[in-house]
């Protein structure tokens, strides 16, 4: 069969290996979906650890083992723009603030949150994995 004689259907998006591929090449919907699921996981982690006497470094390790893996699941086909990388980093910082129980009224800077947890931005992890 000659491929030139067959019709090819043009679609705007399709699912490949569980990841939504769009004709624009944007991964925004996929990243938003993963961020929402990771936010739910972070809320569950916070619920289970809030009244306990678990050390901060242990909570950070739990976050990296459970929540971060949910966030970056299926990242290989992602097209990450600077705006999307910033959104992922914002979620990551929000999660660390939850772990540190840092209120906005204390005016703790994002670099000091990163220094306290010892973790870099999640966008660096994504860039390292997709290269």
Mean pLDDT, the chain, whole residue set: 83
pLDDT for residue 108 is more than 80: yes
Is the residue at 67 inside a domain?
A: yes
Q: Is 117 part of any domain? A: yes
The answer as to whether 82 is a domain residue is yes
Predicted pLDDT of residue 13: 76
Q: How sure is the predictor about 70, in pLDDT bands with cuts at 50, 70 and 90? A: confident
Note down the domain range covering 56.
26-130
Is residue 6 very low, low, confident or very high in pLDDT (cuts 50, 70, 90)? confident
Q: How far apart are CA 88 and CA 123, in angstroms?
A: 7
Taking only the tens place, the pLDDT of each residue in 13-50 is 777 666 667 766 667 777 888 889 999 999 999 888 87
Burial (0-12, 13-18, 19+ Cβ within 10 Å), 71? buried
Structure tokens at 36: 């929402």
- Examine residue 105 and state whether it is found in any structural domain, yes or no: yes
Split into its structural domains, the chain has a count of 1
Query: Considering the domain boundaries, does residue 45 fall inside one?
Result: yes
């Amino acid at each position: 069969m000659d491929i030139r004689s067959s019709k090819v259907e043009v679609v705007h998006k399709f699912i490949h290996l569980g990841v939504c591929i769009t004709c624009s090449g944007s991964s925004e919907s996929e990243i938003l979906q993963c961020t929402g699921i990771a936010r739910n996981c972070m809320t569950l982690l916070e619920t289970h650890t809030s009244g306990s006497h678990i050390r901060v470094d242990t909570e950070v390790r739990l976050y990296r083992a459970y929540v971060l893996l949910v966030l970056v699941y299926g990242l290989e086909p992602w097209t990450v723009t600077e705006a999307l990388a910033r959104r992922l980093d914002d979620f990551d910082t929000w999660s660390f603030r939850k772990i540190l129980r840092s209120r906005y009224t204390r005016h703790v800077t994002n670099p000091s949150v990163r220094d306290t947890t010892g973790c870099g931005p999640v966008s660096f992890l994504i860039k390292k994995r997709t290269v």
